[in-house]
A = this chain, B = another copy of it.
Amino acid sequence: MKRAYNFNAGPSALPLSVLERAQAELLNFQNTGMSVMELSHRSKEYDAVHNSAKERLKRLMNIPDTHDVLFLQGGASLQFSMVPMNLLGKDQVANYVLTGTWSEKALKEAKKIGQTHIAASSKEANYTYIPKLEDIHLSENVAYLHITSNNTIFGTQWHEFPDVPVDLVADMSSDILSREINVGQFALIYAGAQKNLGPSGVTVVIIRNDLLERIPDNLPTMLDYRTYSSSNSLYNTPPTFAIYMLSLVLEWVEEEGGVKTIEARNQEKAAIVYEAIDASNGFYAPHAEKESRSLMNVTFTLPNEELTKKFLAEAKEKGFVGLAGHRSVGGCRASIYNAVPLEACEALAAFMHDFYRRFA
């Protein structure tokens, strides 16, 4: 079997060793005579998986005791609603920085719940950059400031987080665990797993415990963070297999040397692909401004539609998967999450150089 060069934006590449381990124990988990999917979520075997995922994430991200880790379902899209339902009080204003499609969607859901304010935006430039910290203008009575740490569609990423005197909430779906961050700086972080953490079907929420006291009563039980916090995310049946895969991916990150090592590798991988862009004299035109470039999603266009099609067709033939850009920006996108190996980036860069030499 030849592994594809998987540049999918999510669901995306998983570490081969993780898949091999999942395969090896799929029929008989730890000599139980059952698949991990067949275990009761109240069994001691599943409990160990569940808690190991939680503890490993705490260790890897240096999550302080002030914060808790919750496992939910519904993806970041459900968090767009849950964040304001839980944290946006009456007379308060939810502040949003718009840096792309996902921030817009988050804002749209918050508007259904209460008052909102756009604290900064790069929409006028088709989201080619991340607003500067000094350009963030907060409203009065801020409930929280919401940012999208990495923008998959436009290929931009916050490299320094705003140091604001209000609760900072971040959608980190596409760059959680890709670099060292100070979790203590955030009131709440959420992330769908399907980019850096595992398969789709589980959403991680890291929440500062005191926020739980702000939650209004009478929310639907499954939409109240306290339900997950008070039950160790076991109020109802969790997505057990997705959490098992998450635990394996986290174990892999630990074995690889932790987030610091992964971050260095991600910088190396991104440098290789951006170099192919920068060496092309504008043949490959990056969507993002240089200082806002994402280490996770490299977005670029070719001189015309015909060349783009040719590029994508040749790439596909060579075993590169997922390189078509999102329809909002067109062109191409290479998503190079944690599990995408260095060799895949080298192969892509080599192909880009070659294609450039032939068609520029």
Closest to A4 in B: B33
| In the complex, per-residue mask of A235-271: 1 if CB is within 8 Å of any chain B CB, else 0 | 1111111100100000000000000000000000000
Alpha-carbon distance A4/B223, docked complex (angstroms) = 36
Q: Which of A37-45, A131-139, A180-188, A281-289 contacts B (4 or more CB under 8 A)?
A: A37-45
Interface residues of A: mostly helix, strand, loop or mixed? loop
- Contact in complex: B222, A78 (CB < 8 Å): yes
Of residues 12 through 50 on chain A, the ones whose CB sits less than 8 Å from some CB of chain B are 12-14, 16, 19-20, 22-23, 26-28, 32-35, 37-41, 43
Contact of A11 among B38, B109, B235 (CB under 8 A): B38
- Contact in complex: A20, B14 (CB < 8 Å): no
A221 within 8 Å of B (CB atoms) = yes
A3 within 8 Å of B (CB atoms) = yes
A165 within 8 Å of B (CB atoms) = no
A128 within 8 Å of B (CB atoms) = no
Alpha-carbon distance A237/B242, docked complex (angstroms) = 14
Q: How large, as a class, is the contact surface on chain A?
A: 35 or more
Q: Given the complex, which residues of B lie within 8 Å of A194, measured CB to CB? A: 237
A328 within 8 Å of B (CB atoms) = no
- Contact in complex: B27, A75 (CB < 8 Å): no
Interface residues of A (CB under 8 A from B): 1-4, 6, 8-14, 16, 19-20, 22-23, 26-28, 32-35, 37-41, 43, 73-78, 80-81, 85, 105, 108-109, 112-113, 192, 194, 199-202, 218-223, 235-242, 245, 319, 321-322
Apart from A37-B199, A73-B201, A194-B237: 6 A-B pairs, beta carbons within 8 A: A6-B33, A11-B237, A33-B321, A112-B219, A112-B220, A192-B237
**5 interchain residue pairs of minimum CB distance:** A201-B239, A4-B33, A81-B220, A73-B73, A37-B199
A-B CB contact pairs (8 Å), 14 listed: A1-B27, A4-B32, A10-B40, A11-B37, A11-B237, A14-B38, A19-B26, A37-B245, A74-B74, A74-B222, A78-B223, A192-B237, A199-B241, A241-B242
